Structure 1
Amino acid sequence: MSDINTMILVEHPLNEKMRTWLRIEYLLQQLLYEKNFKNIASALTFFRAASDLIDILERFEIRGDLLKKLEHQQQKLSNWLCAPNTDKDLIDSLIIKLADCTNALISASRIQDHLKENRLIISVRQRLSIVGGCCSFDLPALHLWLHLPDEDQTQYIDHIIQTLKPLHHGLMMILDFVRQSSSLEMVNSLNGFFKGNTEKGELLRLGIPLKHRVYPKISGHKNRYVIHFIPLEPEQSRSVDDFSFELACC
């Protein structure tokens, strides 16, 4: 059972690019952690994530945007080398990691092509939009694959994940820099509302005490935002008492 004193971390993007990056991160997490297929449900989580990832990579110029951000971050770190009292060894190591991510992304072919050329992914992808369309008689190839030895399944999944490593490493480097650009600070909500201003903000991070049983509905963009806390239980009063929560605008 969850500790009632637990802080729930919630993230909300303040621009479309960050929104897309967070969705890719979410899908990559499913691909990376749904590797032990105990049943059809866990397998479909993996293949649905792969299908959704194809859609995003087809619609947006992800690699180009990541390369620009990686280059910008390298330049920013290089400028910090001239500042006094900086940890030059740490900065040099980060610049090297960013350069490695950049080179890996440049060298990688169109990432979605590896997924689109996978016959099993495509066969599942074609059935996902059909209600109940992933039964064993609809997808006999998947039904057979689920009965293969574990080592065969692992080899298959590891190959897919290997093709996604340049995307995964580059994206995580960027998101780590964004998340670490601002620390969580305690602020107060008033009647379940909080308003804030920011300059070129990309990501809001909230630490919300579980005991209040509220979730945030956030609207905003890079200059200003509004947070409205809503009770989880419908029988609760629509108004929310004042309470403190943690907030970082990155």
Structure 2
Amino acid sequence: MRTFLRLEHLFQRLEHQIEEGNTAWSGRIGVESIIDMLTILGRVDIKSELIKELERQSAALENLAYNPNVDSGRLADILTKTRYSLNVIRAMESMPGSELQQNVLLNIVRQRNSIPAGTCGFDVPGFDYWLQGSAARCRNDLTVWYSAFDVIREGISLCLRLLRESAIVTWEEAMGGFFQRMVEKGLPLQLVRVVLPEGAPWYPEISAGRHRFTIRFMVGTAIEDRPIQTEENVKFQLLCCAI
């Protein structure tokens, strides 16, 4: 699930650059996002992981078909989308983004990307030339490259949306900034979310294991200070997502 969330973050970052970016720096961030995607996908069998998770979600949702409190029409629509996504993912014959492995520009930037400031104009003049081109051409190239991830992007989006929509929402209070809860046996808890009022002076640090999860609410008087756990009692909204 962490890999899905990291890829979702990269998808959103790249989409922002394509939609809003109009400078060389936007193009640079866009290319770095694609390289990060390729790096993650080179380490994880995302196809197998995504199929496994969508199959699990689909089976769990099918068990709700005879529940009179479930909207049967909406459930049928969700199951149709899930099965379609599974069929498309299963039909993939190569690793997502594999066609970009032959892209000369991306490969050059990728090789230099591990070196601090290794993609400066004098180090990779071809990349600098591309960045200095028209914003429209850069956006078009990024859009074409991004399309190589369409299948897994849509699958991950569906998987995370279903998971988030499954959330059980409760109001809780962290005494002295600390909250801990045991995970109910047999509950496939995969995502914990915390909602605080806008402008709250704390932020949550969440750690989780198989049997329990812990939330500490941290505060720092200045950005350069080491954050510490607040001593105040913190009321918050807890969303436990499990299918």
**TM-score normalised by the chain length of structure 2:** 0.87
Match of residue 233 from structure 2: 242
Query: CA contact under 8 A between 1:192 and 1:239: conserved in structure 2?
Result: yes
Mapping of 1:1-250 within 5 angstroms? 18-35=1-18, 36-108=20-92, 109-199=94-184, 200-234=188-222, 239-250=230-241
Higher relative contact order (CA 8 A, sep 6+): 1
Q: CA deviation at 1:177?
A: 1.3
Aligned residues: 233
CA distance in 2, matches of 1:85, 1:209: 32
Is the Cα contact below 8 Å between 2:112 and 2:118 reproduced in 1? yes
Deviation, structure 1 residue 100: 1.8
| Distance of 2:153 and 2:229 partners within structure 1 | 41
What's the secondary structure of 2:117's corresponding residue? coil
One-letter amino acid of the counterpart of residue 203, structure 1? L
Cα pair 1:191 1:239 within 8 Å, conserved: yes
Q: Counterparts of 2:230 and 2:117 in 1: how far apart (Å)?
A: 41
Deviation per CA, 1:81-138, whole angstroms, max 9, x where unpaired?
A: 2222432221121111112211221223311312322222211111212122221121
Instruction: Specify the code of the residue in structure 2 equivalent to 1:124.
Output: V
Cα distance, 1:237 vs structure 2 = 7.7
1:205–1:247: 8 Å Cα contact kept in structure 2?
yes
User: CA RMSD, aligned part only?
Assistant: 2.1
CA distance in 1: counterparts of 2:145 and 2:240, whole angstroms: 35
Relative to 1, partners in 2 of residues 1:133 and 1:94: Cα closer, same or farther, differing over 3 Å? same
- Mapped partners of 1:93, 1:247: distance in 2: 28
Unaligned 5+ residue runs, structure 2?
A: none
Q: Distance in 2 between matches of 1:39 and 1:155?
A: 14
- Tell me, in whole angstroms, the C-alpha distance in 1 between the residues paired with 2:230 and 2:137: 55
C-alpha distance in structure 2 between counterparts of 1:110 and 1:33, whole Å:
25
Q: Secondary structure at the match of 2:195?
A: strand
TM-score with structure 1 length normalisation? 0.84
Question: Does the aligned pair in 2 maintain the 1:184–1:205 contact within 8 Å?
Answer: no
CA distance in 1, matches of 2:228, 2:110: 43
SS in structure 2 of the partner of residue 137 of structure 1: coil
Amino acid at match of 2:8: E
What CA distance in whole angstroms lies between the structure 1 residues aligned with 2:116 and 2:66?
Answer: 59
C-alpha contact (below 8 Å) 1:58/1:112 kept by paired residues: no
Identity %: 28
Q: 1:238 to 1:26 in 2, by over 3 A?
A: closer
Residues 1:67 and 1:231: Cα distance change in structure 2 (over 3 Å): same
